[in-house]
Amino acid sequence: MSKIKRGKNIVSVPSSLDYLKEVDEFVETRLKSAGLDENKLADVAISVAEAVTNAVVHGNKCNLKKRVQVELKIESPRIIIKVQDQGNGFDPQNIGSPLEGNNVLKEAGRGIFILKSLMDEVDFSFEPEGGTVVRMVKYIKK
Amino acid sequence: MDFTVNEKNGVMVISPQGKIMGGPDATKLHDKLLELISQDKKRIVIDLSQVDWMNSTGLSILISAFIAIRDNQGELKLANVTERIGKLLEITRLTKVFEKFESVEKAVQSFG
């Protein structure tokens, strides 16, 4: 199985953070044609890095036999990104706030909070055969 | 992402360049910071002027080093926090945790 699979709107990588750079290059290359300003482009790139990190580490538990797929569509006036893993899912309601008490200085637990802060819409769905899909939307002009 | 390490007036200045987002490069930066602290370096400045952006992995590295050096009776300070990184520190309420300076020189001088 090839390590990185690329399509026009899709990139798929094995479950290792070693491939974050390739995913980021795919995202930034696609976004440069979308007319996003630099700050919004960074918001999307950071959010994709967060979602892919979660998918690799928490979803697929760094199992290299499992993959993470990123789909990016530019449907003006918005950019829609889906990040899908092959893990067992999680309860989005069961995630503590990184802003509460001692959580501020915890080393982990900010990923979902950050992507919710930087993107205009974020939702989670769970595939019947396993796998979490994080769907994120950024409006090009807002 | 790459980084340089320099010493200025007894203060270690770490200057990462690019994006801090996890993966092998971020691990190297994290390891270097912890190595310096384990060598009993008690004054560290992280110069963020050349960092395009960071995600929660970058924040984790800053927090981990901040706690490790504080536990060793040292201090870690930030210099040249860009607007983009400042926004991330703000939304995660970490802006009050880190002491920030507008230049490396001012951060180095602040150690006295």
CA distance A31 to chain B (A): 16
Look-up: residue for tokens 């706690």? B67
Find the domain containing A55 and state its range. 5-139
The domain spans of chain B are 2-101
How far is B88 from B51, CA to CA, in rounded Å?
A: 13
The token duo for B80 is 């040249």
Residues of A in contact with B19 (CB under 8 A): 24, 45, 49
Model confidence pLDDT, tens digit, residues B49-107: 999 999 999 999 999 999 999 999 999 999 999 999 999 999 999 999 999 999 999 99
CA-wise closest residue to A23 among A40, A4, A2: A4
Instruction: Output the tens digit of pLDDT for each of chain A's 142 residues.
Output: 569 999 989 999 999 999 999 999 999 999 988 888 899 999 999 999 999 999 999 999 999 999 999 999 999 899 999 999 999 877 777 777 888 877 888 878 888 999 999 999 999 999 888 899 999 999 998 6
What total number of domains does chain A contain? Answer: 1
Please compute, for residue A11, the number of CA atoms within 13 A of its CA located in the half-sphere on the CB side: 20
Q: Two tokens at B17?
A: 């360049």
pLDDT of B27 reads 95
pLDDT of res. A142: 67
Name, in order, each residue with C-beta under 8 angstroms of B45's C-beta and a sequence gap of 6 or more: B11, B12, B13, B14, B76, B77, B78, B79, B101, B104, B107, B108
Domain holding A106: CATH number?
Answer: 3.30.565.10
Whether residues B93 and A104 touch (CB distance < 8 A) is answered with yes
Residue with tokens 């870690």: B76
Nearest CB to A24: which of B19, B24, B59?
Answer: B19
Between chains, do A114 and B53 touch, taking CB under 8 Å as contact?
no
- C-alpha distance from A138 to closest chain B C-alpha (Å): 17
User: Which chain A residue lies closest to B94 (C-alpha atoms)?
Assistant: A104
Dump the DSSP string for A21-64: HHHHHHHHHHHTTTT--HHHHHHHHHHHHHHHHHIIIIISTT-T
Which tens digit of pLDDT belongs to each residue from B18-59?
Answer: 999 989 999 999 999 999 999 999 999 999 999 999 999 999
Give contacts of B 57-86 with A, CB under 8 A: 57, 59-60, 63-64, 66-67, 84
Distances (CA, A) of A53 to A83, B8, B46, B98: 10, 35, 24, 25
How close B1 comes to chain A (CA, Å)?
A: 10
The top-level CATH class assigned to B2-101 is: alpha beta
Q: Residues for chain B: how many in total?
A: 112
Q: Is B73 left (phi over 0), alpha (psi -120 to 50) or beta?
A: left
- The verdict on ipTM greater than 0.90 is yes
Minimal Cβ distance to A20: which of B21, B64, B92: B21
Whole-angstrom CA distances from B78 to A26, B6, B50, B82 are: 31, 15, 13, 11
Q: Specify the amino acid at residue A86.
A: Q
Which residue of A45, A53, A110 is in closest CB contact with B22?
A53
CB contact residues (below 8 A), chain A span 42-81, against chain B: 42, 45-46, 49-50, 53
